[in-house]
Structure formats: structure tokens, C-alpha cells
Structure 1
Amino acid sequence: MTKYKLKSDFRHSSQVTLTSYMANENQLINDNDNTSPSSIDDDNNVGGIDNHGMIMDTEQQNENNRSVSIGAALAKCNPDMMNERLQCSNCGRKDSNSVVLNIPDQKSVRRRKSLQNPPNPTLTAWLKERARRSCTKKILYKKVPIFQWLPNYNKSLAISDLVAGFTVGLTVIPQAIAYANVAGLPPEYGLYSSFMACFVYTVFGSVKDSPVGPTAIAAILTRENLHGLGPDFAVLLCFLSGCVMLLMGILQLGFLIDFISGPVAVGFTSAAAIVIATSQIKDILGLTFSAAKFLEVWEEVFAHISETRLWDTVLGIVCMAVLLLLRKVKDIKVAPDSKEKTQIQCAAEKFLWFISTARNIIVVIVCALMAFVFEEHGMKPFILTGEIKAGLPTFQPPPFSTSVNNHTYNFLEMTSNLSSAIFVVPLLAVLENIALAKVFAEGKPIDATQEMLSLGLCNIASSFVNSMPVSGALSRGAVNNASGVQTTFGGIYTGLIVLVSLKYFTPYFYYIPKASLAAVIIAAVVFMVEFHVVKPIWRSKKVDLIPAVATFLSCLFIRLELGIVIGITINVIFLLYASARPSVRVEKMNSQSGYEYLCITPDRSLRFPSVEYVRKSISKAGARLGYSSTPVVIDARHIQGADFTAAEGVKSLIDDFMRRNQALLFYNLKPSIVSVFQGVHPKDLRLCNSEMELNEMLKACQTTKPRPSENCNN
């Protein structure tokens, strides 16, 4: 009996190669007279040839090969087939004793059967399968990025992160106190918002430059939606925002950020910066009144302008000037670039950079010392921050009910008062963090879904320590990047500095003048106003100014969250209009043989909003320019997709052309689109895929008039 080795086809094809490794052809024919054609012999007492033509011993064959004997059916075949030289499927060698038979191996048969008759999994089985696929090393590294860099973390990286984290910590303390004031919350809530998110983002964050904490935009959105109801609502908003972001990340909704276009984002950030700066005017002037909206603030400012405090105003203006000047100190050239710098010059550069980077804390400390000296001498020229609750916050769940002005709000009433902020705040927080990431990404792709997951966890964890909503701050991100941060571990040092300040230094925050904190905020947000992009937008595409201006004015005079919704709506309307009114190019052309035809080229896919417009355009062009006799060729090279409505429209278009005996041909139509069109059974769908086919079809259409039953080419 001649033994054959079965070579499994890894692509599950039914064609497999059987290689003879015993006896000769005569023995094969003689032995196979008494052998069934497809019997399988499990006798493995002989050696074999492996997939690469190497001799295998008995043990190797037992492990890797199955023996198949070929009987009378093969013996009756042409003997020349036995000598046919076929190339081995797994290597470049040729075997003179190879034949190809359509005998699939058992594994491929089982696989094919499972694909043809897939079982209907239960919900439990489906969940188990999804969990199994999710629990891979690749997914773990992607969802918990700390595992990517922690094994390679070394001393030099730790030093860089320590310097960056310490510098950002000095920046975030005065900003946190000021942002709490912007949000209408007690100062300690700004500090409560500045440490827990840093710890969580270190583990789950994917952007090393992003220092998560209180931001100007999150603070002003919190203020506009609190309605003076107190800190408990801000903490609940932080928790719910985190839940929404986490859910968006789980559902892979990172693409939603793409619907916020550049002009809309510019209009929103510019309006938000002006609203934030306006909210600090009263502290610069030393006024005391309650107002939240842009116009209301200016009305109150002019109503109380006579109550302006001179020294608060002077201090606020001087602080703003000093902050803006110190911002430029780092750009001072200590030595020419062409010369090698000495140690003194290098030290001077680092000193200037540190002064510029830590300008906020320097200004606040100097102002607090001035206020302390005045207080010791019995003078109170400035309005001070006042008492800040000392110590660390209590770790507890966010409040799901609270009492304000002798009225108890349950969870549903609290969420009802927060209304749209539950969805707008997380969306804008993710947008702010993605914008920060893109600035320092250096061309690397940003995973918006992962940022949603990490920011969601940051907000949920922060809500357990009485935090308001948090996100990545662009101003602190610039400090982080300039400080040379290497990993997200820099956030650990930032959080520790905030904890130390809460534990030991809160009594000294009493002397910080409110005017100095207002100056810190105004000096930070003034660069968020992006009027400089108006000219490039005007030069590139003027219509993009419409959503930008609409968003800016709506955010400024109505509400921030409504303004960005209005801007997104206008953008979506523009997208729908462009989809419903595609460009249709019409031109007269000649084929290779000189046959004249009308070429019509739609510039995009056929979807239901544009079908009627395209149908009318083609029909009108065929009647006017083609004189109802010249063949019309639709060049479908740009049509990447179509739907049922498009198929119905094409069927109607074919009927129109058949009624007036005018040829209608489709050129370069993709097979997937052809199947969509054929699904509605058009009477005469004529297709061509090359210049030669088109020329032949035009020739046929010139000699005979098209009939409903005629098809020039299928």
C-alpha cells in the first residue's frame, strides 16, 4: 500500500496536496487494486517527508502526519499525472510524486460547517466571548497605559517627572483657588479638585502632558449650572459627568468629538474666555455683587462703579502687568545661539525659565506677604480670600440629596436642576483635553475613546473628595511640557504638593488678595481668545465664519452650553446640505472610435438626501445638452456607496431615458453598488468597466435604438 501525507490547507480550501513517500508507481497500482478509494489507514510505522521535503522518523510522523492511501480510482488515472511536477504548497521545492486532490482535511471541514451553520449563542455565552476577547495583553496595555512605560521607568525619567510635577504643583495651587471663585464655590473646593484626578490619570491617562484638574471652562460651566444652589450640586455634577464620560468611552463614542469643528471650537473658547474674564472684573475693582451672565455682570459693574476700591484696582492691574511681563522672561537670550554657553549662562537661563513658569505662585505669595504686613499694621487695603477650611477632605460618596435654604432636594430634583450640564460638561471636558493633547502630540494619534475612559474615572474618583468637574488644562499643560515631563507619573508629584498645601498651608491662604487671584485668571484666559484665526478662515472658506460667529455670540449672550449646541447644529445643517446637493459635472466627450457621448460625473456617494437632485440634474442634462439622442454615460468613479432610495432613483432615471429612447450607460460602477441597484430590478442596467467596453457599447447604441429588453453589456 502506498502511503501519502496530507498537507492541510491553512486557508480552508478544499484542494489539498498528497505527497507519495513509499514504493514506486507499479507497487502503487498493484497494491491499490484491493484498496478502497478513500480509505484512511492509521498505520504510522513508517517514516515520512515533512512539509519542507525533510525525512521524518516514526515519532515525528506520529505527531504531525496522517496517512491516506489512494486506491483503484487513482490507479485508473493517467499515469502521467503521477509524474506531474507540482510545487509544494509550503516551500519552493518541487516533488515529482505530488498530486492534488480535492479532499479537505477534517479540521477545514469542521470549520466550514461551523461557518455555514453558525450556532446561535446565548447572551451569557456572548458576554463570555466578549470578555475573553477583551482580556488580552494588548487590550490591557491600551486601556491601562501605565503598564506600557512602568517596566522601563528609570531614575532619569523620575527626575524629569519630579521637576515637572513640582512646577505644575506650584502653578495649580493659585489657579485652583481662583477657579473655585470662578465656579462660585468656597476656595478649598478648588484644591479638593486638584489631587485625586492626578493620581487616577497617572494610571489610565494616555497623554503625558495633560495635568488633569480644575479648568477655567469647567469652572464657568459649573457656575452657570449651579444657580447658586451650593457645593453639593457641583460635586454631584462631577460624579455624573464622570459617569457620562465613562459610558461614552465604553460605547466607543470618541468619534462624537469630530462633530465639533474647528470654527465652532474657536467661537466657544473665545466666548468662554471673555465670560471668565468678565466674571473676575468685580474682584479687580473690589466690588461686591451677585451676577452670573455676561450682560448682567457688566450691568452690575456700571451700577456699582462708584464703589470701586482704589487699592484693589491698582493691585489687580499691576498683577496682570507683572504676570504678562514674566510670561516673556523665559524668552530673554542670555547668550547668542552661535556661541557655546557657560555654566553661569546656563544657570541664568534656567533661573529665568523658572521665574517665568512659576509666575503665578510668585505673584500670589508676594501679594499675600504685602497683605499680611498691612494687617499687622492695622490696615486693610485689599479684600482678602478669607478663611479656607484646613485639612484634607473626607473620602465619601458624592451627595445624592442635599438641603438648601430649608428645602431638601432628592437625586431626581438635583439632576433636573443640573439639566443639560450633565451631558455638555463631559463633552466639553473631553474636547478640552483632546485639544491639549493635539498641541503636544507631535504628530502622534490621539485615542479620544481612551481619554473619555480616563477622564470619566478621574471625575468619578474626584467626586469622592468633594471635587468640581475636572479636565486637562492647556495653560498647565504648557508648563508641564516645558518642564520636560516624560510620563504621566508627574501627576503624582503634583497631587502630593496639593495635599501638603491642604494639610499645612491653608491658614496662610487667608491673606491672599482676591484681586491677585483675579489677575491670575485674566492673565491665563486672555490668550484663549482666538481672534487671530478669523483672517485664515476668511481666506480659506468664508462660510466657516457663520458657525464660528454664531457660536461666539450665542455663548456670549445666551449660555455657553446652548451656544456650542447652536454651533454644532449649524455645522450639521451645512453637512446635510452638502450631502443633499452634490456637484454634478457635465461634459461632452468622444470615445476611442470617435463616438460622441455626454459624460456626467457625480462627485460623491448617492444617499437618500441627494438622489432626487442628482436624478433631475442627469435627466435635464440628457434632454438639453444631449438633445434626447446623444448617449449619456454616468462616470461612477466617485460613487463609493448607495442606499435603497438611490437604487429606486436610478431605476426611475433608467425608465425616463428608455421612454425617450436615449441610451444611459454606467461606467466604473463598483460591484457593491451594482448589487444595490440590481436589488430593485431595473429594466435595462447597462454597465461597462473599461474604455474598450464603453466604445463597443457606444458603437452598438449608435447602430440600434435601445429597447427595454436589450442589454448592451452585463
Structure 2
Amino acid sequence: SGSTRSMKSGGNDSGSGDWTQLHQNGDGPKFTRSRWTGVTPRRRLFSRKVLDKRLPILVNLRDYSAEKAVADLLAGVTVGLTVIPQAIAYANVAGLDAQYGLYSSFVGCFVYAIFGSVKDSPIGPTAIMAILTRENLHGMGPQGAILLAFLTGLVQLLMGVAQLGWLVDFISGPVSVGFTSAAAIIIATSQIKDLLGLSYSASQFLAVWDQLACHIRETRKWDAILGLSCMTVLLLLRKIKDIPVGPKDTKERTTGQKLLAQSLWFISTARNILVVVVCAVMAFVFHKHDMEPFILSGKVKEGLPSIALPEFTHVDSSNHTMGFFEMCSNLSTAMIVLPLLSLLEDVSLAKVFPDGKSIDATQELLALGLCNTLSSFVGSMPVSGALSRGAVNNASGVRTTLGGIYTGIIVLVSLQFFTPYFYYIPKASLAAVIIAAVVFMVEFHVVKPIWRTNKMDLIPAVATFFSCLLIRLELGIVIGISTNVLFLLYASARPSVQVEKQACSWGGEFLVITPDRSLVFPSVEYVRNMICKAGVKQGAGSIPVVIDGRHVQGADFTAAKGVKSLIDDFVKRNQPLLFYNLKPSVVEVFQAVQPVSFHHCSTEQQLYAMLKGYSKQPV
């Protein structure tokens, strides 16, 4: 035990005076000096380090150059051309009018440029956010989607303030694979109706296929031809960027070869908008000649959205007014699942395109929370970072999150000037855009690696996949996470216990029992029974038993009570029980319940000395 005293060397109580602390060690008159800067909590809150962490734009602007600005401009414009057709299509996936997809695509770009830390993450509507929104609207329409975005943002902000970003770690790889694959199939299934020009109402996976079978004979020939043709073209254009042009080493290519390679890459990247524009032009020409071979998107509200708070009441089709809490009740599971999945999409994007920086999940939660909350004021549905657009961003050479500003400007320009032309976009072409995008989200190729590494991981993957398909997406991922947690609990409740009989150099024997992990409440009774059985059967109820705690990193109250009960059992049959190699913190936990005869040896010499004492052989 030592003593500490402090001397004030300057300044005042609320200022930044320096303090010197003198620590007197218990084993002598030695002193160590340390200095406290006296920085108050307010000053720490606004320190440069904290501001840089919470406002990443400050770091980006500090060394921003013309080269980075040009790279961000090119990437932002390229992503902007990609997001417009996707936003319109994702609005359709969510069961909303086209303008709501565009409303969801610009505020997040500006907000994330200030608060976001993943340079490749383009914030906007995504396929998963769209299909989850559709499944949870329950007839509330755009009002429900906007409120869901607002509540998703609030939950993310609260999670960020509470630093709960670690919760996303409970969504394991197999669960994520099962969920993403099921979501992709559900999204593609929901678009078959528009791809074939059919008209029916169904939202659940099996119900959609049932309705499709009933109405398949009503397929509109020209919509089907256009939709399938668009899908084929999109899939082909996706691959043309991989066509080899000249030598593999880009430095050895001629100017013409470089230009051709860049042109192929741009066509491949902008394939969605190219296909949609061509189809819209075709539909416009047909319309001018009084021909309507395709089902069109229809009128899109012109101009920029008005800024307003989300509506907290809703009047349904039966003229029943739903209050705020009733609307929240309809959105209950989505309010928890969407914030986590939004973070998962964003963090996954950062892992796919690493830039050497660690991912701050708390900061990403705060950034996404602000994006969703503020976007809801302009009529947005829930948003997140999109992996497909992130790939475009990365391939375009984006350098900072400021590239999102140019993407947002492109969307604003399209809203202000081009919405009248969106009327002519055939629904079949939008369905083709969605299907061609989500088909690559089905990750059946990972089944073999999972089977090779750990066959048990297939259980949560399969459980998640079929639960999402046959029940609901958000419930499916909850079931998947629960299955994974059960596996974790079972593993912690059934640790491996190694039992080894050893001979003493002076004669006699003793048992060494080694648990392979910490002792916590699920495993206590199991380990206690294993030790008792080993002591009776292999130890003949008499030879000393040594519990080697080298792997025991921690213990809880239940473990301490179990150890006390174990010691009592050994005392009753007069069999020695020794503990060896325990961490000091674990010893404190065990001693806290005051066991009758707790013997711990921290060194091998102490252990053998005690064993000699128990031995019937003369020392």
C-alpha cells in the first residue's frame, strides 16, 4: 500500500494549471512524478483530437488538394449517374412513387460528407433497405416510410451516443450470407411482375409466386421482351470492362488503348442509366406515334421536395386515424433491425474497400443517424451505404467523402429539371436494373467454404435464409442471430476439460484437470460435475486433484458458488483439491464467497510443496 499527495503548482481551480502528483511506493521512499494538464471536460470535448474524430471533414479539408478535388468530382458525378436509375427502381421495390427514391438520394450525400469516415460509402437507398421498408409499411404508404427513416435515424443516434456499434458483431458471416441471399431472391421475385407486365397484389415470397402462377398467361409480350432484353444487355455490359485492351501493364499501353479501356469501363459503370435512357427514348417515340407497347413509370412529381417534419399520424383507407404509437407498433421490429443492418451495410463496404484506417462503428452510427433523420425531413425512406455504388465509387478513384457532394448535386439537378422525362421510363427496364443488380447478392458460392471450415456454421446460415424467405426478413435475421447466440451459449456451457494423471517424483500420484476457457454461469455445473466424476473415478476418491486454471481468464458469482460447492464435496470425502495458475482477479472472485478450504498455488514450487504435504510418503 502506498500514499499519494498532490501539490498545485500554478493556475486556478477551473483553469489549465499544472499539477504534480507524488506517489510514494510501499517498499521505500521512492517517488514518481506525473503531471496533469488540468484540462476541463469542456476543453477535452472540443479538443482537436475529438473534433477530428467526430467531424472527419476537418481531416479531409486539412490536406485537401486540387488532385483530390478532381478525383472526387469525377467519382461523384459517376456515382450520381448510377444512383438516379437505382433510386427510381428502389422506390418501386419499396412500393413508393419514383420521386421518393430521388428524395432519399441527396441529403445523406451532403451529411455523410461532413460526418462520415468511409470514403467509398455513397449514402442513399439500397435494395435491402427498400425491401425491408416495403415489408413494414402495413398500408401506411409514404408517410410510414418517411417516419421509419426518422425513427431509424433516432435509434442510430442513440446507439451512437451509447457506443453500441459493437452490436453489429453479433451478425455473423453465415447469418449475413443467409439474410443477403434471401433478400436478393425476394427483391428479384418482387420485380418479376413488372418485368413481365403483370398486375397483381402480393408482398410475401410464397404469395408472390402463387399470384405469378395465376397470372402468368396475362404476360404482356412487349414488356417481357423489353425486360429480358434489358437484363441481357445489363449483364453483358457488366463484363465489358474486363475485356483485355493491349498489354496487362497499363504503362505499356498506347494512348488509344488507354482511351478505349477507360471508355469500356465508363460504359460498364454507367450501364444502368444508359439502358434506362435508351428505353425511355424508345417509349417516348412510341408515345408520339400513339403507341403504348410498354407499361410506363407514370408521372413523377416535379421539383425539389419541401422541408417538413415527418407526419406522426396517418389516416388509412378505412378513414381510421392511426396515432404515433400505433404507427410505431406497426414498425416495431423494423425500428431495431434497420439501424443495425444499415450499419452492417456501411461497415461491410469499408471492409471490402479498406484504406488502411480502422472503422469507428460509433462514428458511423452517428453519421448514419444524422443522414436518416435529416433525410426524413425531405421525404426520404431509410438509407445506407450501397455496396454496388461503393464499388463504382472506389473504381472511380474517390479520395474523400466529399465526392458525395457532387453525387447529391447531380440528384438535385435531375429533380429540378428532368423529372418530366421520368414519366417515359418503362417499368420493365427498371425491373431489369434491379434484378441484374441483386442477382449477384445471392451468395451460394460461400456454402462450400463454410462447409470446409465449420459445418455447424451452415445451420444459422440456412435457418436465416429460410426464415427470411418464408416468414419475414427482419424476423428471419432475428432468428439467425438467436441461433448463433444459442451456439455461442452452448459452446460456453460445454468447455473442454482435460484430465491427466501424473506421478510425483517422490512417489504417489495426482490428477491435473484443465478447463480450456473461463468459468461463467452456463458452464459452471458442467465443469463441476466433470471434476467430481474425475476425482471419484480416476482419482479413486483419495488422490489429490489439481485444477490448472491457466486458461481461466475470468469468473463470475455463479462460478464462485460452484467452486465453493466443489470444495465442500472434496472436503466431505477427505480428498485434497488444489487450484493452480489462477489469475489474481479470479482468485479474488473465488475468495469473495469465503470457501472453507481454498488452496491456491501460484508457482510450481508451491504446488509440489503442498502435494508433498498431502503425500503419505515421507518428505
Normalized against structure 1, the TM-score is what?
0.80
- C-alpha contact 1:595 1:698 (8 A) present in aligned 2: no
Partner of 1:373: 285
Structure 1 residue 595, shift from structure 2 partner: 4.8
CA displacement at 1:629 relative to structure 2: 2.2
The 5 A counterparts of 1:465-504 are 465-504=378-417
Map 1:116-515; keep pairs closer than 5 Å. 131-337=42-248, 340-405=252-317, 406-442=319-355, 444-515=357-428
What CA deviation, in whole Å up to 9, does each residue of 1:103-129 have, x standing for no partner? 989x99x99xxxxxxxxxxxxxxxx97
Shift of 1:407: 3.0
Shift of 1:688: 1.6
| Post-superposition offset of 1:102 | 5.2
What SS class does the counterpart of residue 306 from structure 2 fall into? Answer: coil
1:645 to 521, 543, 558: 558
1:701 shift after superposition: 1.3
Decide whether the 8 Å contact of 1:161 with 1:485 is kept in 2.
yes
Q: CA deviation at 1:131?
A: 4.8
The answer for the alignment partner of 1:521 in structure 2 is 434
Q: Provide closer, same or farther for how the CA distance between residues 101 and 681 of structure 1 changes in structure 2, counting only shifts above 3 A.
A: closer
Contact 2:178–2:464 under 8 Å retained in 1: yes
Cα drift, residue 572 of structure 1: 1.2
1-side partners of 2:455 and 2:265: how far apart? 40
Structure with more contact order per residue of length (Cα contacts < 8 Å, sep ≥ 6): 2
Using the alignment, how far apart are the partners of 2:266 and 2:199 within structure 1? Answer: 35
Give CA deviations for 1:430-449 in whole Å, capped at 9, x if unaligned.
11111111111255321111
2-structure distance, mates of 1:413, 1:632: 62
- Give the structure 2 partner of residue 568 of structure 1: 481
- Contact 2:508 2:617 (8 Å CA) reproduced: no
Partners in 1 of 2:131 and 2:284 — Cα distance? Answer: 30
Amino acid at match of 1:361: I
Instruction: Report the 3-state secondary structure (helix = DSSP H, G, I; strand = E; otherwise coil) of the residue aligned with 1:703.
Output: coil
Separation of aligned partners in 1, 2:131 and 2:73: 31
Instruction: Give the deviation of 1:694 after TM superposition.
Output: 2.1
3-state SS of the aligned residue for 1:598? strand
Matched position secondary structure for 1:630: coil
Residue 12 of structure 1, CA deviation: 7.3
Work out whether residues 165 and 361 of structure 2, in 8 Å CA contact, stay in contact via their aligned partners in 1: yes
Distance 1:427 1:212 in 2: 15
User: Equivalents in 1 of 2:46, 2:216: separation in Å?
Assistant: 63
1:637, distance to aligned residue in structure 2 (A): 0.3
For residues 15 and 361 of structure 1, what CA distance do their matches in structure 2 show?
69
CA distance in 2, matches of 1:511, 1:594: 94
Deviation (angstroms), 1:593: 5.1
Q: How does 1:14-33 map to 2 (within 5 A)?
A: none
Q: Is the 8 A contact 1:230 1:404 kept in 2?
A: no
Change (3 A) 1:558 1:617: same
Partner SS state of residue 331, structure 1 = coil
Shift of 1:151: 1.4
Change (3 A) 1:103 1:618: closer
Q: How does 1:37-52 map to 2 (within 5 A)?
A: none
Q: SS of 1:626's equivalent? A: coil
Q: Deviations over 1:613-672 (max 9, x none)?
A: 111100100111111222111110011111222112112211211222222111101111
Q: Distance in 2 between matches of 1:554 and 1:129?
A: 52
Indicate how the Cα distance of structure 1 residues 627 and 329 shifts in structure 2: closer, same or farther if over 3 A, else same. same
Residues 215-224 or 329-338, more deviating: 329-338
Per the alignment, in what secondary structure is the counterpart of residue 198 of structure 2?
coil
CA distance in 1, matches of 2:353, 2:515: 40
Distance, in Å, in 2 between the alignment partners of 1:101 and 1:487 is: 56
Q: TM-score, normalised by structure 2?
A: 0.92
Q: Which residue of 1 aligns with 2:13?
A: none
Identical positions, percent = 67
Q: Tell me, in whole angstroms, the C-alpha distance in 2 between the residues paired with 1:329 and 1:592.
A: 75
Change (3 A) 1:481 1:612: same
SS at match of 2:237: helix
Query: Equivalents in 1 of 2:59, 2:512: separation in Å?
Result: 55
CA deviations on 1:229-267 (whole Å, 9 max, x unpaired) are: 221111111101100000000000011101111111111
Structure 2: gaps of 5 or more residues:
8-17
CA distance in 1, matches of 2:412, 2:500: 72
523, 527, 542: which is aligned to 1:610? 523
Post-superposition offset of 1:197: 0.5
Amino acid across the alignment from 2:533: K
- Once the two structures are superposed, what CA deviation does each residue of 1:529-571 show, in whole Å capped at 9, x if it has no partner? 0111111111111111111111100100110011011111111
The secondary structure found in structure 2 opposite 1:420 is helix
> For the residues of structure 1 that align with 2:28 and 2:525, how far apart are their CA atoms?
54
Counterparts of 2:68 and 2:256, CA distance in 1: 25
Change (3 A) 1:564 1:130: farther
- Aligned mates of 1:487, 1:595 — CA distance in 2: 70
Pick which of 358-367 and 693-702 moved more.
693-702
Contact 1:635–1:666 (CA under 8 A) maintained in structure 2 = yes
Aligned residues: 598
Match for 1:482: what amino acid? A
User: What stretches of structure 1 of length at least 5 have no aligned partner?
Assistant: 1-10, 17-63, 67-88, 90-99, 112-127, 706-711
**Which SS does the other structure have where 2:500 is aligned?**
strand
Structure 1 residue 396: Cα displacement: 1.2
**Cα distance in structure 2, aligned partners of 1:312 and 1:453:** 43
Asked if 2 retains the 8 angstrom alpha-carbon contact of 1:592 and 1:695, the reply is no
Change in Cα spacing, 1:462 to 1:15, as seen in structure 2 (3 Å) is: closer
Q: 332-341 or 600-609, which moves further after superposition?
A: 332-341
**1:677-692 superposed matches below 5 A:** 677-692=590-605
Q: CA deviation at 1:704?
A: 7.7
Does 2:457 match 1:544?
yes
The CA distance in 2 between the partners of 1:657 and 1:282, in whole Å, is 72
Q: How far off is 1:13 after superposition?
A: 5.7
Report the Cα offset of residue 409 of structure 1.
2.5
Moved more, 369-378 or 400-409: 400-409
Any idea what SS the aligned residue of 2:252 has? coil
Distance 1:504 1:667 in 2: 77
